[in-house]
């Protein structure tokens, strides 16, 4: 959980309790350590929160504390809306829902003038045909975040299946296709796998031996600035 999100959750927990609540109870509710709770309380106090109490006695948040409102320039609002609308239109369903939730959350905490600018943005994303993926893209994203090997059953352009063990580190979204970028142990090289040709993806539970950031850096160096757009087919599978 991001620290900013944890601080918001801590504030919400304080607001749920009218009487002092112990640090241990907060830690158990939030799923963090007691030390983290104490550190986050100190952070909130530094931001102006009137929190009374001490270890062993409990803590209470006095009414009236609000986090500083989010502030954006006009073009930042436009970039935010356009990006979220693109995701809501082009990504898989879990990411589509998340993009809609992000816009709703941000709209809820913006000052009135900026909220009107966000809600009335005229930047639109054209609809497009959705790729027919055969697997759950959320599983691919989990493997990327966890730096975990995947066992793939992958079909080439002729439909011939092959089994691969890969190190996934990026996922590319195009108008009509999505591409998983990975190091392929079979090819001993970087390869691009169209997600609509992945017949199966099994989590191995094993971390791959390199860091995701290092793989991305090496891939970018090999592909160049236009590599993903011009060489995808030549390095497919």
DSSP bridge pairs for 58: 54
The confidence score (pLDDT) of residue 68 equals 55
Do residues 204 and 165 make contact, with C-beta atoms less than 8 angstroms apart? yes
Q: How do the domains of the chain map onto residue ranges?
A: 3-61, 74-119, 137-235
Own/partner long-range contacts of 226-234 (Cβ < 8 Å, ≥24 apart): 228/172, 228/179, 228/181, 228/192, 232/172, 232/179, 232/192
If we measure between CA atoms, which residue out of 148, 147, 122, 132 comes closest to residue 195?
A: 132
Pair of tokens at residue 94: 């879990």
CATH fold of the domain at 3-61: Arc Repressor Mutant, subunit A (1.10.10)
The confidence score (pLDDT) of residue 230 equals 46
Series of mean pLDDT values for 10-residue runs along the chain (237 residues): 74 84 92 92 86 88 65 78 86 87 80 79 76 84 95 92 96 87 95 94 94 94 64 60
């Amino acid at each position: 959980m991001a620290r900013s999100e944890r601080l918001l959750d801590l504030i919400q927990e304080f607001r749920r309790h009218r009487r002092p609540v112990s640090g241990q109870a907060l830690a158990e509710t939030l799923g963090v350590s007691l030390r983290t709770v104490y550190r986050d309380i100190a952070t909130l106090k530094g931001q102006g929160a009137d929190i009374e109490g001490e270890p062993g006695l409990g803590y209470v948040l006095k009414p009236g504390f609000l986090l500083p409102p989010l502030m954006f320039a006009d073009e930042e609002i436009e970039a935010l809306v356009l990006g979220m609308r693109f995701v809501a239109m082009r990504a898989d369903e879990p990411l589509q829902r998340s993009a809609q939730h992000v816009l709703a959350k941000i709209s809820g905490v913006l000052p009135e003038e900026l909220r009107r600018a966000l809600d009335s943005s005229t930047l639109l994303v054209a609809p497009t045909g959705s790729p027919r993926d055969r697997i759950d893209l959320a599983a691919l994203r989990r493997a990327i975040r966890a730096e975990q090997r995947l066992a793939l059953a992958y079909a080439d352009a002729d439909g011939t299946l092959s089994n691969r063990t890969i190190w996934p580190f990026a996922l590319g979204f195009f108008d009509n296709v999505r591409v998983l970028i990975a190091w392929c142990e079979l090819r001993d090289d970087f390869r691009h796998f169209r997600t609509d040709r992945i017949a199966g993806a099994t989590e191995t539970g094993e971390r791959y031996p390199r860091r995701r950031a290092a793989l991305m850096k090496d891939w970018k160096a090999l592909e160049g600035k236009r590599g993903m757009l011009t060489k995808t087919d030549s390095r497919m599978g």
